[in-house]
Amino acid sequence: MSHAAGTALTVDDLRHRYPDGRVALDGVSFTVEPGERVAILGPNGAGKTTLVLHLNGILAASSGTVHVGDLGVAKANLAEIRRRVGIVFQDPDDQLFMPTVGEDVAFGPYQLGLRGAALEDRVAEALSAVGMAGCAERSPHHLSFGERRRVAVATVLSMRPEVLVLDEPSSNLDPAARRELADVLTSLPVTTLLVTHDLPYALQLCPRSIVLNEGRVAAVGPTRSLLADDAVMRANRLELPYGFALSPADR
């Protein structure tokens, strides 16, 4: 598969071997179109987090390529790649380290040289997008876990990324916070990759899913069809929560 013009993200024959010899990615290829929301599903140890860390160059591939738009992920391009690909990690406290919410959200654009009213506008825009307008003066430590996760999303949105990557975004959220985050994510006009164990969340948010298993792409298709396919689910150690029923039309 060659790099396709006009795609938001192209991963081509990506391989990664850790120093201990373990192969974490073994020829992963897929594309994501601009504006798509795609879930990356798979059991523990499938290579999901390793894949995420290649998308903005935190890890370097053993072989294969990643393109964000027309730009390859390579050392020479890392500053621009990290602006284009925003990663929201599982623990919001990895991303919130300033005294106030506003300073956290301003941090990235400030590094890019934004100042004054332009910086204030960027912060207000990002906080508004995640339903946290008016919270700029608050301390991140006084927010609920769900609010902190939404502010972590805002710290990435303030960079105006082309691709938003979320690692287990629903983990540790209560049902109301989970719904609030889903409302935010469905309202964002940005290409989104959702890495999750939470299959109902993937179904709610992502029309298409990619199943990873043992470092390879095991299945790709409409999320609803994959979750209704008993053979795919069993082969890849995926299970819907007890009591969660797909409608008969899905089977």
Q: What angle do CA 178, 130, 69 make, to 5 degrees?
A: 100
What confidence tier does 248 reach under pLDDT thresholds 50, 70, 90? low
Contacts of 164 (CB under 8 A, 6+ apart): 86, 88, 153, 156, 157, 188, 190, 191, 192, 193
**Each residue of 117-128: pLDDT tens digit?**
999 999 999 999
Buried b vs exposed e over 189-210: b needs ≥16 C-beta within 10 Å? ebbbbbbbbbbebbbbbbebbb
**Confidence bin at 6 (pLDDT 50/70/90):** confident
- The span from the CA of 241 to the CA of 13, in Å, is 33
pLDDT at 200 over 70: yes
Q: How many CB atoms sit inside 10 A of residue 97's CB?
A: 11
Residue length of the chain = 251
Provide the whole-model pTM: 0.92
**Domain for residue 210, yes or no?**
yes
For the chain, what is the mean pLDDT? Answer: 93
Mean pLDDT of all residues in 43-68: 93
Give the per-residue pLDDT at 249: 59
pLDDT at res. 52: 94
Looking at the domain assignment, is residue 155 inside a domain? no
Whether 138 is covered by a domain: the verdict is no
Total count of domains within the chain: 1
Mind listing the pLDDT tens digit for each residue in 208-225? Answer: 999 999 999 999 999 999
- The answer as to whether 148 is a domain residue is no
Domain interval for residue 207:
9-91+163-244
Please report, for the domain that includes residue 65, its CATH number.
3.40.50.300
Q: In angstroms, rounded to a whole number, what is the distance separating the alpha carbons of residues 61 and 131?
A: 36
